[in-house]
Amino acid sequence: MSGGIGGSSQGTPAEVVHFHEAVPVFRMLEFSMFPEERLGAEEWQRRQEELLSADPGTVSIRALTDLPDGDMLIFDLNHRESGFPLAVSQIGFPEEAQPLGLTMSEYLELATELSPMEAQMSAGVYPYDAIVSAIERRGLRANAYWAECLSLLAESRGSTQERMRYVRENPQ
| Tens digit of each residue's pLDDT (9 = 90 or more) over 65-109 | 666 666 777 888 888 899 889 998 887 777 788 899 999 889 888
Residue at 96 is within a domain:
yes
Residue at 110 is within a domain:
yes
The predicted pLDDT at position 4 comes to 40
Total residues found in the chain within this entry: 172
How far is the C-alpha of 3 from the C-alpha of 87, rounded, in Å? 26
Higher pLDDT, residue 60 or 89: 89
Least confident of 64-78, 138-152, 155-169: 64-78
Residue at 49 is within a domain:
yes
Residue at 143 is within a domain:
yes
Residue at 2 is within a domain:
no
The predicted pLDDT at position 133 comes to 95
Query: Does residue 5 surpass a pLDDT of 50?
Result: no
The predicted pLDDT at position 22 comes to 65
List the domain range (segments joined by +) for residue 12. 8-169
**What is the domain count for the chain?**
1
Residue range 132-138: mean pLDDT, rounded: 94
How far is the C-alpha of 134 from the C-alpha of 116, rounded, in Å? 12
Annotate the chain with three-state secondary structure: CCCCCCCHHHCCCHHHHHHHHHCCCCCHHHHHHCCCCCCCHHHHHHHHHHHCCCCCCCCCEEEEEECCCCEEEEEEHHHHHHCCEEEEEECCCHHHCEEEEEEHHHHHHHHHHHHHHHHHHHCCCCCHHHHHHHHHHCCHHHCHHHHHHHHHHHHCHHHHHHHHHHHHHCCC
Most confident of 20-34, 67-81, 86-100, 123-137: 123-137
What pLDDT band is residue 48 in, cutting at 50, 70 and 90?
Answer: low
CB contact set of 143 (below 8 Å; sequence gap of 6+): 99, 100, 101
